[in-house]
Amino acid sequence: MKSINYYNHKIAYDLKGSGTTLVFLHGFGENRQMWSKYTAYFSDYQILTIDLPNTGDSEIMEASVARMAKVVNAVLATEKIEKCIMIGHSMGGYVALAFAKLYEAKLLGYCLFHSQPNADTPEKKQGRNKAIDFVKKHGSAPYFKGLVPMLFAKAYLKENEATVQKLIDFASQIPTQGTINQLKAMRDRPDNQEVLKNSKVPVCFIVGENDIAVPAENSLNQTFLPNTADIHILPNVGHMGMFEAPLKTVGILNRFIEFVIGQ
């Protein structure tokens, strides 16, 4: 593990390999460890995985989605990485879009992995507020115990209880304030459709047919926005394609990476 000091807050990350840099950004309730097995399939590249603020080995801090993007940029600057391909899962996709808005010149391309550019609807904001109230009263563990299984397609859940439980355990370790800070960051994020519309780099979309967190319909409505879009719909997959369909999503990403590098 490596780390930087970002305005007196520790930010933890791992950097390994060589070649073109792939930056993997985790989602809400996750940390950089979720990518540990998955990134082994990308051994031809340099892999950067970061614990975004409020989770994993990074410290608790108030951080909007835009500020998380600045944290990512600070890590890249520390490691003197001038160009990268960014893969953002769920909340990590929100961060990737915020990064593209601020620092697109540093991107060769990026992937929204079960993610979207839209701001929360009023109904979704209300749901976030209810979640914040629940976490304040009961803590992270019972909240994620209920949430995490809902992110998977039912067929996967039945056969992979140990994997799902491991993710619940990881999420349950997040301090109460860390979970609240991330919920607030997602609730308050701006609409970033214009970022996609103005994108000068290719964008990959990985969409789960059975995703309840980011419904397929919402994802597909954004795919026409970039000039260059690589679109993939995963049948019988929920919100966690890196676990539910690892080989298929690895193939999608490898082809996208090869296309981006070959431009």
Share of the chain above pLDDT 90, in %: 95
Q: Where are the domains of the chain?
A: 2-119+190-262
pLDDT tens figures, 3-40? 999 999 999 999 999 999 999 999 999 999 999 999 99
Tell me: pLDDT of 240 over 90.
Answer: yes
**Average pLDDT of every residue of the chain:** 97
pLDDT at site 234: 97
Give every CB contact of residue 252 below 8 A, 6+ residues apart in sequence: 204, 206, 230, 232
Q: Is the dihedral of CA 90, 91, 96, 101 positive or negative?
A: positive
Q: Do 61 and 53 contact (CB within 8 A), yes or no?
A: yes
pLDDT tens figures, 202-214? 999 999 999 999 9
Q: Do 219 and 116 contact (CB within 8 A), yes or no?
A: yes
Tell me: pLDDT of 82 over 90.
Answer: yes
Tell me: pLDDT of 255 over 90.
Answer: yes
d(CA 13, CA 4): 8
Q: Do 201 and 175 contact (CB within 8 A), yes or no?
A: no
What string of DSSP letters covers 3-29? Answer: EEEETTEEEEEEEE--SSEEEEE--TT
Tell me: pLDDT of 163 over 90.
Answer: yes
The architecture in CATH of the region 2-119+190-262 reads 3-Layer(aba) Sandwich (3.40)
pLDDT at site 87: 98
What's the whole-model pTM score? 0.97
Residues in the chain: 263
Residue 98 has, within 13 A of its CA and on its CB side, a CA count of: 25
pLDDT tens figures, 121-130? 999 999 999 9
Tell me: pLDDT of 221 over 90.
Answer: no
Tell me: pLDDT of 263 over 90.
Answer: no
How many CB atoms within 10 Å of residue 78?
16
215 residue type, one letter: P
